[in-house]
Amino acid sequence: MNNRYSRQELFSPIGKAGQQLISNKHVLIIGVGALGSGCAEALVRAGIGKLTIVDRDYVEWSNLQRQLLYSEEDAKNRIPKVIAAKNRLTVINSSVAIEAIIGDATVVELEDWAQKVDLIMDATDNFETRMIINDVSQKVGIPWIYGACVGSYGISYTIIPEKTPCLSCLLDTVPLGGLTCDTAGIISPAVNMVVSYQISEALKILVGDMDSLRNKLVSFDLWKNQFSAVQVDKLKKADCPSCGNERSYPFLSFENQTKSAVLCGRDSVQIRPSIPTVMDLETLEKILAKNGGTVQRNPFLLSYTLGSHRLVVFKDGRVLVHGTKDITEAKALYHRYLG
């Protein structure tokens, strides 16, 4: 055990002092899909002190091609990703404290979580959540690392409050949208490359070597053999609503928050209750069983399949309606079977 991190400590920019710093740090990862599971494993192997992982979804067969923490057994049993990830990460490094949260990264939760961490890693699958992370980062003063990939393309950028342009500053200049909700598929090398960029920047921040940060937005296409590193420091805007002189944090306001969302490339809609709730899954199972269809339940969620649709109900009241991208239809199914 004494030489567990010896090769990392031999790397002079980290050393023993840096390793001690890493072991005292707390990182928050939003999403434990492809990028999140890769980042989580790298941080756990590097000896991070505490890791908080947040994800609203469960493991499916299509995840196994690129999401390295999960197994066929996880997919068969529809285990929530954070639970499966924590189980695997604990086996990898039992000395790391891992907090697994099944749920959405909403404004209230993110503001609370951000108060307790040293760094936020973006591994989400939607742009709305990224903009909330961006505003929370600026409000609380916590750095975050943006990352996304689709097909063979990937992109990453490190945001340091009060120093670098934030994500809002880049919106008019850099093509950031359309990178996640896409039907183009994904190859694992693109995932691994983005993870490498994110983790290398994360380690610099965790050991306090801010001078070594990249300070550029990096993008690449592995299939087309293309690479770009863009200097974006001049894009910081004094009138930016998120990080400017008179900031209003627009993505933290209620009117910019949605209660329903089409999930990325999933033919599915998530519906989130307007008020916090705790679902009695055992009772719900008995009620739905009377309506026909197929009901399956594990300690974390209930799955109800009827015809071409499947409703997955979590304890916090969130429901994933599979088999439709139409929010109106999804809400109709939600109200029909769940009241």
* CATH code for position 158: 3.40.50.720
Q: How far apart are CA 263 and CA 265, in angstroms?
A: 6
Q: What is the pTM of this model?
A: 0.82
> Which pLDDT does position 226 carry in this prediction?
96
Q: Does 292 share its domain with 267?
A: yes
Q: Does 171 share its domain with 195?
A: yes
Q: Does 244 share its domain with 277?
A: no
What is the identity of the amino acid at 203?
L
The answer to whether position 268 is within a domain reads yes
The answer to whether position 151 is within a domain reads yes
> Which pLDDT does position 199 carry in this prediction?
98
- What is the pLDDT tens value at each position of the chain, 339 positions in all? 579 999 999 999 999 999 999 999 999 999 999 999 999 999 999 999 999 999 988 999 989 999 999 999 999 999 999 999 999 999 999 999 999 999 888 898 999 999 999 999 999 877 778 999 999 999 999 999 999 998 899 999 999 999 999 999 998 766 554 443 334 578 999 999 999 999 999 999 999 999 999 999 999 999 999 999 999 999 999 999 999 999 999 989 866 665 778 887 778 999 887 666 788 999 989 888 887 889 999 999 999 998 999 999 999 889 999 999 988 788 888 877 886
The answer to whether position 101 is within a domain reads yes
Q: Which of 191, 224, 255 is the last residue of a domain?
A: 255
Interior/surface letters 209-244, b for 16+ CB within 10 angstroms, e for the rest = eeeebebebbbbebeeeeeeeeebeebbbeebbbbb
Cα 46 from chain centre: 20
The answer to whether position 287 is within a domain reads yes
> Which pLDDT does position 282 carry in this prediction?
93
What is the identity of the amino acid at 76?
K
Q: Which of 255, 279, 304 is the last residue of a domain?
A: 255
> Which pLDDT does position 182 carry in this prediction?
36
> Which pLDDT does position 76 carry in this prediction?
96
The answer to whether position 1 is within a domain reads no
The answer to whether position 216 is within a domain reads yes
Q: Does 106 share its domain with 228?
A: yes
Q: Does 305 share its domain with 202?
A: no
Q: Does 26 share its domain with 130?
A: yes
Q: Which of 236, 255, 274 is the last residue of a domain?
A: 255
Domains in the chain, number: 2
Catalytic residues: 181
Q: Does 217 share its domain with 274?
A: no
| Parent domain of 54 | 6-255
Q: Does 168 share its domain with 35?
A: yes
> Which pLDDT does position 176 carry in this prediction?
57
